[in-house]
Amino acid sequence: MSGTHQQPRSELVRGLGAWDATLLVIGSMLGGGIFITTGDMARVLPHEGMILLVWLAGGLLTLAGALTYAELGVMFPRAGGIYHFLKEAYGPLPGFLYGWCCFLVIMSGGIAGIAVGTAEYLGTFVPFSATANVLASATLGGFTWTLSGGQLVAAAAILLLTGINWLGLREGATVQNLLTASKIACVVGFVAAAFAAPARAPIALATALPHAGLAAAFGIAMVGALWTYDGWYGVTLSAGEMRDPGRHLPIALVAGTAACVAMYALLNLVYFRGLSIAEIGASPRVAETAATALLGGRGGQLLAAAVVISSFGCLASTVLYSSRLYLPMAQDGLFFSSLAAVHPRYRTPGRSLWAQGVWSAVLALSGRYDQLYTYAIFIAVLFHVATGAAVFVLRRTRPDAPRSYRTWGYPVVPALFILASLALVVNTLVERPLESLFGLGLLALGLPAYAYWRRSAAGVTGGGSGVDILGR
């Protein structure tokens, strides 16, 4: 156990309401993936009914995760969320390793990837921002580095949103709320227009099932769906800034997740109305292709613009919530001491924001963020398993702890989430064994770092726990 029930010192503003939190959940989930992933699915699982089932099953499993994390979030409504869940259930080392991997690759690499994807779609309208627009290149040994306009635009977008969030919680939340509301409107408008247009292909959900390799294909497609739903847990990292996390956090997690499941299902029905299953599988940008088929060339351009808004909104949400993770780590003496500071005027984790923003921009400019993120996938899912299991651990070790919300359907719902996450772990290990081993290597690099910060914290506190040691 961590040895303390004391909440780390924090001066963050509790200014997020239920609406802000719900939009943060939707904004974190609804990025560019849903506009692409169905095409990838159709190549391995060429059956409309099974593809729709994958999206619905993935949504239910994600909802199980949301219901599970909600109990942990109301127990520990602090900035940093998952860091606290792991620390309180298993001790400081797992919590530190999660934050370490997030800063190194998981969150920062994800931010870089979303930013470059946003720039790539923006390249449809502004050719400079396309990743194919190579501005410079250099070769050193066997390594070739290229710099594209898309990478520059991505880095600029990351730093712009970092600056906005640095100015205040309300400023950052307002920007992400506006972007999220805009992309919801884009999705709803696109679905309505697509269903009003004559169908180009009949929806065929009940055709004969393929006989060979159905289970394996379903599993591969499920991986794509679950990663497209990813980000739903981000709001728990901002629970320390919610006005009433005991009430609003469960509502936001459930309502936001359910809204995304509904939008994803409707978008897939649109794809089925506009394209045959073979055309879906052949399209790298299935939403844009379906929009063009149903609504003409202008429809495809408008859909591409909607993807830019959606991806940029997802970037804004991710920058906001992920930066809250490093503040409590630093306040516990387990990360760079300067990151423990809360800005005296703006009341934001300013140094954590800028450290995350600069590192994410560097990853975007490096051109290797996607490879690093692939290494981290295995580790990220392992942490989901451990966090889901924390509900069972804390029910046993702290049965009398206040819980204004208890996981609906316990123990079945959290068990289903854990089993689904374990299946992803096994699938990733089988499909990408080398990347999984590299991911474990990234995790192992955190052990000497933990030992260093632990010793430093003990030195400052005279052998104490290292909690709240900074600023003294």
Give the least confident one: 84-88, 95-99, 129-133: 129-133
pLDDT in tens, 151-190: 999 999 999 999 999 999 999 999 999 999 999 999 999 9
Region 281-291: mean pLDDT is 93
Tell me: pLDDT of 1 over 70. Answer: no
Give domain status of residue 467, yes or no.
no
Tell me: pLDDT of 283 over 50. Answer: yes
DSSP 8-state code for residue 5 = -
Name 139's bridge partners: 144
pLDDT of 397 reads 96
Give domain status of residue 423, yes or no.
yes
Region 72-99: mean pLDDT is 95
| CATH number of the domain enclosing 399 | 1.20.1740.10
Residues in the chain: 472
Amino acid code (one letter) for 383: F
| Predicted confidence band of residue 460 (pLDDT cuts 50, 70, 90) | low
Give domain status of residue 366, yes or no.
yes
- Report which of 347, 325, 326, 350 is spatially closest to residue 336, judged by C-alpha positions: 326
Sorted by sequence, the CB contacts under 8 Å of residue 366 that are 6+ apart come out as: 145
- Report which of 65, 56, 169, 164 is spatially closest to residue 383, judged by C-alpha positions: 65
Give domain status of residue 249, yes or no.
yes
pLDDT in tens, 374-398: 777 788 889 999 999 999 999 999 9
| Predicted confidence band of residue 211 (pLDDT cuts 50, 70, 90) | low
Q: Is the dihedral of CA 337, 157, 32, 18 positive or negative?
A: positive
Tokens standing for residue 260: 């995304």
Distance (Å, whole) CA 411 – CA 91: 23
| Predicted confidence band of residue 467 (pLDDT cuts 50, 70, 90) | very low
Tokens standing for residue 257: 């997740």
Tell me: pLDDT of 4 over 50. Answer: no
pLDDT in tens, 25-42: 999 999 988 999 999 999
Distance (Å, whole) CA 399 – CA 34: 40
Place of tokens 């780590």: 329
Give domain status of residue 161, yes or no.
no
Give domain status of residue 392, yes or no.
yes
Tell me: pLDDT of 373 over 80. Answer: no
- Report which of 432, 189, 188, 155 is spatially closest to residue 319, judged by C-alpha positions: 155
Chain CA centroid to CA 331, Å: 24
pLDDT of 385 reads 94
Q: Is the dihedral of CA 308, 311, 315, 321 positive or negative?
A: positive
Place of tokens 């060979």: 212
DSSP 8-state code for residue 157 = H
pLDDT of 2 reads 40
Of all residues in the chain, the percent with pLDDT exceeding 70 is 93
Give domain status of residue 34, yes or no.
yes
- Report which of 65, 435, 418, 113 is spatially closest to residue 234, judged by C-alpha positions: 65
Name 144's bridge partners: 139
pLDDT of 437 reads 87
Give domain status of residue 464, yes or no.
no
Owning domain of residue 24: 18-119+166-458
In contact, 340 and 327? CB cutoff 8 Å: yes
Tell me: pLDDT of 466 over 60. Answer: no
pLDDT of 131 reads 86
Tell me: pLDDT of 229 over 80. Answer: yes
Tell me: pLDDT of 23 over 70. Answer: yes
| Predicted confidence band of residue 63 (pLDDT cuts 50, 70, 90) | very high
- Report which of 55, 76, 104, 60 is spatially closest to residue 10, judged by C-alpha positions: 76
What value does the mean pLDDT of the chain take?
A: 89
In contact, 438 and 304? CB cutoff 8 Å: no
pLDDT of 179 reads 96
Distance (Å, whole) CA 334 – CA 2: 13
Report which of residues 327 and 373 the model is more confident about: 327
Domain count, the chain: 1
pLDDT in tens, 393-449: 999 999 999 899 999 999 999 999 999 888 888 877 887 788 888 888 889 999 999
Characterize 395-425 residue by residue with b for buried, 16 or more Cβ atoms within 10 angstroms of its Cβ, and e for exposed.
Answer: beeeeeeebebebbeeeebbbbbbebbebbb
Report which of residues 435 and 192 the model is more confident about: 192
Region 312-338: mean pLDDT is 95
pLDDT of 398 reads 94
